Amino acid sequence: MESQNIRDKKEKVVEEKVHLIVFKLGSEEYGVRIDQVKEVTITPEITRMPKTPSFIKGVSNIRGDIIAIMNLEERFKIERPSGPSSPHTYTLVMEAKDYTMGFIVYEVPQSLTLPVSSIDKAPAFIQDININENFIEGIGKYDDRLIIVLDIFKILTSDEVLQLKS
Amino acid sequence: MKSRDQEYKEIFIAEALEYYDALNRHISDLEKTPEDEQVLAEVFRLLHNLKANAKAIGYETIADVSHKLETAFGMIRSKELNFSDEVVTVLFDGIDMLGEMITGIDGTKEVEPSQALLRNLDIVINSQAENSTELSKVQKHYTSKNLSLSDLIYIQIKKLDHLLNLVGELIIDRDRIFSISKELDNDDLKNVSAHLYRITEDLQYSVMDARLVNVGSLFNKFPRIVRDIAVAEKKEINLEISGSDIQIDRNILQIITDSLLHLMRNAISHGIEKADVRKKAKKTPNGNVMLSAQNDRDTVILKLTDDGKGIDQEEVRRAIVQRGFLSADAAGDLRDTEVLSYLFEPGFSLAKEVTEVSGRGVGLDVVKNAIDSIGGRIRVDSKKGEGTTFTLFLPTSIAVKGALLCQVEENFYAIPLMHTDSVVALPTEELHEVGELLVADINGETITIVSMRELFNNDLSQYAVKKSDLQGEAQNIIIVTYNNRKLGLIVDKLLRQQDIVIKALSKPVNTIEIYAGVTLLGSGKVCLVLDVAAITRYFIARR
């Protein structure tokens, strides 16, 4: 990963910060911009919805809104690390332009602020991994942690999600 | 309850006062810019409408004054009359008098138009050559206006939609509180929640009531439309309208407007024969078309009947085969009601043979979709040579629908009562395997039976059920009906009948065909609403 240390010069001038909500998928840390997150809640009861892909866990009632719940690990085929799982999961409620969707995460998400300059553009070879490159906005570094910043809007509007068909 | 006449009168007054206000505004503008064509046209239009409305409801004097003013403004428009000071005064007086007369309708005694003014108006209209000094002074006792606001308000339907949605949500919460209070068994809480229950119920009906309009508001447009179509088709049509005062949700009426127009066009241009053909068939030379509405509990039934040539079942059967919907054998076995239901199939409309011979089927699938979208049903009955009847079963209100709740695996599902026919418990041995499907003989009808469990857990294209896949000795079957066709759905458990508020599913799961929406139960549990239309369509296509 050292080769990725060359940063974009343009964002160096002002210390622009970006506020992320950070959560774990598999054993890696992922982040989304806080302005894309509507709320974080303990996962409510999910009603399974037959005839949807397995990564759609179903629909839930969140404050009167019925929204679809997606499991990002299953969506990106990320393996769940073995070990004891927490008693409940959390749901990140994300907002796209015209609809809302929930994403399940297994540990309490954290909030983190880091300078924009510490986020690298996603390197090309990331295409090789299961998360399509399009969904990755960049790779952020914070102390010695590596945070994969996702562009949730792209995930929400990807053809695959929009054209869910049984 | 107010009488219909009283209601019409109030609406007339409200509208007329609005016209009057607009006229005042425009004529003041006109004084400053007498050349403004747009304002003139608008004044002309307002007066014309006012005249027509007044005439329709029988206020001849108002219609008369409006007519004179309209003529005067017409002349100003065509430059036959100058917008001079004298003329302006007379016109102002005329409009003031109109206002006086409109407000006077509700009073004890009718306001008579001042004779002097009427004479002045006549003079203005006929004055081209004459001198305007003849204009007499008009007593202006009616210009001492007292300002008043109308008793009726216009409201955007959008606002009522929003209100109705809020009430829908409120009801869900109410049901929840109601069930919690039962669990907690606290007397105070029970009292409050019982009260809350009654109030919200009242509120719900009030909002629903506010959205109701007379079916007549749509029906009344038909005499003119029918006349136009009849003229174009060179046919004579008697249109009979009944049940205009039946009430229905405004949005539902809006949604079916095009459909009804479409059916009417079909009936006149393709259903009703030419006069000479009718004579030969010993019918009256005039075609008869009946448009009626009636109430049946929560349903409004609209019927469009013509006494035209009807639909030839055999032609339709042939077209079914021709269009590749069914094999000739299968088409021959269809019951008559089922044959006609193919008229609503998408693509069937293209069938040349049917459109030319019987003329039906043009875009009927579009009509059907519109009616499906509001949870209604459509039926067609026809006898060759005697005529055709289209019957539309529409919900009175969009918001609340009766539904049957059932359980499959751990989930609850709702099926709108509009589409349920009956419920039976059938011994498993009475089901028969035909190919990959199950069928059963229920009340003399052979009905395809679908296992919801299998449907949910398998890809649709791989759906196949054997009797051995079913659990238990008896099966709970809900018979649903869509487009004259029946289908039995095996569910794990029948729960209860309940009024539900259907919410649309949001993206991205709104594209899954078999769901019509979602509803929240009193327990807060999410319950999916099944789309009977989509499920039936799939299994019909398979056959």
> In sequence order, what DSSP letters do the residues of B450-507 get, joined into one string?
EEHHHHHHS-GGG----GGGS-SSEEEEEEEEETTEEEEEEESEEEEEEEEE-BPPPT
The residue written with tokens 């119920």 in the block is: B201
Pairing of strands A90-95, A100-105: antiparallel
* Both tokens assigned to A150: 């996702």
Q: What is the DSSP string of chain A?
A: -GGGGPPPSGGGSS--EEEEEEEEETTEEEEEEGGGEEEEEE----B--TTS-TTEEEEEEETTEEEEEEEHHHHTTPPPPPSPPPSS-EEEEEE-SS-EEEEEESS--EEEEEEGGGEEPPPGGGGGSSS-GGGEEEEEEETTEEEEEE-HHHHHH-HHHHT---
Is A66 in Cβ contact with B506 (below 8 Å)? yes
Q: Which of B441, B392, B437 is closest to B418 using CA atoms? A: B392
Edge-first strand listing for the sheet containing B485-491: B420-427, B474-482, B485-491, B445-451, B437-442, B431-434
Residue A163 predicted with pLDDT over 90: no
- Residue A22 pLDDT grade (very low, low, confident, very high; cuts 50, 70, 90): very high
Residue B142 predicted with pLDDT over 70: no
* Both tokens assigned to B307: 């006494």
Average pLDDT of the residues of chain B: 82
The reply to whether B512 touches chain A by the CB within 8 Å rule is yes
Pick from A48, A49, A99: CB nearest B506: A99
Residue B49 predicted with pLDDT over 50: yes
Rounded to an integer, the average pLDDT of B258-276 is 88
The reply to whether A53 touches chain B by the CB within 8 Å rule is no
Between residues B100 and B246, the one the model is more confident about: B246
Is A45 in Cβ contact with B525 (below 8 Å)? yes
Kindly report which listed range (A65-79, A132-146, B483-497) carries the lowest average pLDDT score: A132-146
Pick from A50, A64, A98: CB nearest B456: A50
Which chain B residues are Cβ-neighbours of A52 within 8 angstroms? Answer: 509, 512
Last residue of a domain, one of B171, B192, B210: B210
Q: How far apart are CA B188 and CA A17, in angstroms?
A: 53
Which domain, by its residues, includes B193?
A: 157-210
Domain CATH code at residue B356: 3.30.565.10
CA distance B68 to chain A (A): 54
Q: How far apart are CA B114 and CA B111, in angstroms?
A: 9
- Please give the model's pTM, rounded to 2 decimal places: 0.57
- Give the pLDDT score at A133: 54
Q: How far apart are CA B217 and CA B252, in angstroms?
A: 13
φ/ψ of B424, rounded to 5, equals -135, 150
- Same domain, residue pair B184 and B225: no
* CB-based contact B101:B54 (threshold 8 Å): no
φ/ψ of B376, rounded to 5, equals -100, -175
**Which of B512, B514, B523, B527 is the mutation pick for testing A, counting most A CBs within 10 A?**
B512
Q: How far apart are CA A127 and CA B64, in angstroms?
A: 81
Rounded to an integer, the average pLDDT of A132-149 is 81
- Same domain, residue pair B100 and B70: yes
Q: Which of A152-156, B345-349, B514-518 has the highest mean pLDDT?
A: B514-518
The reply to whether B157 touches chain A by the CB within 8 Å rule is no
Q: How far apart are CA B295 and CA B61, in angstroms?
A: 38
- Same domain, residue pair B41 and B162: no
Q: Which of B436, B512, B450 is closest to B478 using CA atoms? A: B450
CATH architecture for residues A2-162: Beta Barrel (2.40)
**Which of B506, B523, B531, B538 is the mutation pick for testing A, counting most A CBs within 10 A?**
B506
CA distance A57 to chain B (A): 11
DSSP-assigned letter for residue B322:
H
Is A59 in Cβ contact with B411 (below 8 Å)? no
Residue B118 predicted with pLDDT over 50: yes
| Residue B264 half-sphere exposure toward CB, CA atoms < 13 A | 28
Encode A3-37: b = buried (16+ Cβ within 10 Å), e = exposed: eeeeeeeeeeeeeeebebbbbbbeeebbbbbeebb
- Residue B134 pLDDT grade (very low, low, confident, very high; cuts 50, 70, 90): low
- Residue B251 pLDDT grade (very low, low, confident, very high; cuts 50, 70, 90): confident
Which chain A residues are Cβ-neighbours of B177 within 8 angstroms? Answer: none
Domain CATH code at residue B517: 2.40.50.180
- Give the pLDDT score at B480: 92
- Give the pLDDT score at A166: 39
- Give the pLDDT score at A46: 92
The reply to whether B529 touches chain A by the CB within 8 Å rule is no
Between A and B, how many residue pairs show a Cβ–Cβ distance under 8 A?
Answer: 76
Q: Which of A76-85, A126-135, B520-529 has the highest mean pLDDT?
A: B520-529
Q: How far apart are CA B475 and CA B480, in angstroms?
A: 15
Which chain A residues are Cβ-neighbours of B511 within 8 angstroms? Answer: 162-165
Between residues B150 and A22, the one the model is more confident about: A22
Which chain B residues are Cβ-neighbours of A67 within 8 angstroms? Answer: 506
- Same domain, residue pair B257 and B405: no
Pick from A51, A99, A161: CB nearest B456: A51
- Same domain, residue pair B134 and B173: no
- Same domain, residue pair B284 and B383: yes
B334 found inside a domain:
yes
Pick from B173, B508, B520: CB nearest A68: B508
Which chain B residues are Cβ-neighbours of A50 within 8 angstroms? Answer: 411, 455-457
B431 found inside a domain:
yes
- Give the pLDDT score at B1: 43
Maximum pairwise Cα distance, chain A:
52
Q: Which of A96, A159, A48, A44 is closest to B413 using CA atoms? A: A48
Rounded to an integer, the average pLDDT of B139-144 is 50
- Same domain, residue pair B426 and B407: yes
- Same domain, residue pair B246 and B181: no
- Residue B408 pLDDT grade (very low, low, confident, very high; cuts 50, 70, 90): very high
Q: How far apart are CA B128 and CA B130, in angstroms?
A: 6
Is B506 in Cβ contact with A65 (below 8 Å)? yes
- Residue B2 pLDDT grade (very low, low, confident, very high; cuts 50, 70, 90): low
- Residue A130 pLDDT grade (very low, low, confident, very high; cuts 50, 70, 90): low
- Residue B541 pLDDT grade (very low, low, confident, very high; cuts 50, 70, 90): low
Could you give the number of structural domains in chain B? 4
Q: How far apart are CA B543 and CA B538, in angstroms?
A: 9
Residues B352-366 have pLDDT tens digits of: 444 443 344 457 888
> Percentage of chain B with pLDDT > 90?
13
- Same domain, residue pair B197 and B320: no
Residues B204-248 have pLDDT tens digits of: 888 888 888 889 889 988 998 899 888 888 888 999 999 988 999
Residue B415 predicted with pLDDT over 70: yes
Which amino acid is present at A161? V
- Give the pLDDT score at A69: 92
* Both tokens assigned to A85: 């799982």
Q: Collapsing DSSP states into helix, strand and coil, what is residue B251?
A: helix
Kindly report which listed range (B132-146, B280-294, B478-492) carries the lowest average pLDDT score: B132-146
Closest chain B residue to the Cα of A57, Cα to Cα = B509
The reply to whether B527 touches chain A by the CB within 8 Å rule is yes
> Percentage of chain A with pLDDT > 70?
74
- Give the pLDDT score at B98: 84
Encode B65-95: b = buried (16+ Cβ within 10 Å), e = exposed: bbbbbbbbbbbbeeeebebeeebeebbbbbb
Between residues A130 and B330, the one the model is more confident about: B330
Last residue of a domain, one of B173, B195, B210: B210
Q: How far apart are CA A63 and CA B21, in angstroms?
A: 46
Q: Which of B339, B307, B309 is closest to B321 using CA atoms? A: B339
Rounded to an integer, the average pLDDT of B387-401 is 84
Residue B53 predicted with pLDDT over 80: yes
Residue B289 predicted with pLDDT over 90: yes
Residues A35-50 have pLDDT tens digits of: 888 888 889 889 999 8
Residues B475-525 have pLDDT tens digits of: 999 999 887 788 999 999 999 888 787 877 877 788 788 888 888 776 778
CB contact set of B289 (below 8 Å; sequence gap of 6+): B226, B237, B238, B239, B240, B264, B267, B268, B272, B304, B305, B306, B307
Q: How far apart are CA A149 and CA B338, in angstroms?
A: 57
- Give the pLDDT score at B104: 79
Residues B145-189 have pLDDT tens digits of: 566 666 778 888 888 878 887 887 788 778 778 878 888 888 899
Is B526 in Cβ contact with A47 (below 8 Å)? yes
* Both tokens assigned to B257: 């407007």
- Give the pLDDT score at B293: 95
Residue B339 predicted with pLDDT over 90: no
Q: How far apart are CA B425 and CA B490, in angstroms?
A: 9
- Same domain, residue pair B476 and B491: yes
- Residue B57 pLDDT grade (very low, low, confident, very high; cuts 50, 70, 90): confident
CB contact set of B18 (below 8 Å; sequence gap of 6+): B150
> Percentage of chain B with pLDDT > 70?
90
The reply to whether B471 touches chain A by the CB within 8 Å rule is no
- Same domain, residue pair B181 and B228: no
CB contact set of B491 (below 8 Å; sequence gap of 6+): B406, B407, B408, B413, B452, B476, B477, B478
**Which of A38, A43, A49, A160 is the mutation pick for testing B, counting most B CBs within 10 A?**
A49
Q: Which of B478, B518, B479 is closest to B500 using CA atoms? A: B518
Kindly report which listed range (A28-32, A81-85, A87-91, B339-343) carries the lowest average pLDDT score: A81-85
CB contact set of B16 (below 8 Å; sequence gap of 6+): B50, B53, B54, B62, B102
Say what the alpha-carbon torsion angle B34, B37, B40, B44 is, to the nearest 10 degrees: 160
Is B456 in Cβ contact with A165 (below 8 Å)? no
- Same domain, residue pair B352 and B235: yes
Domain CATH code at residue B110: 1.20.120.160
Is A163 in Cβ contact with B520 (below 8 Å)? no
Residues of B (383-442) whose Cβ lies below 8 Å from A = 409-411
Pick from A66, A96, A156: CB nearest B518: A66
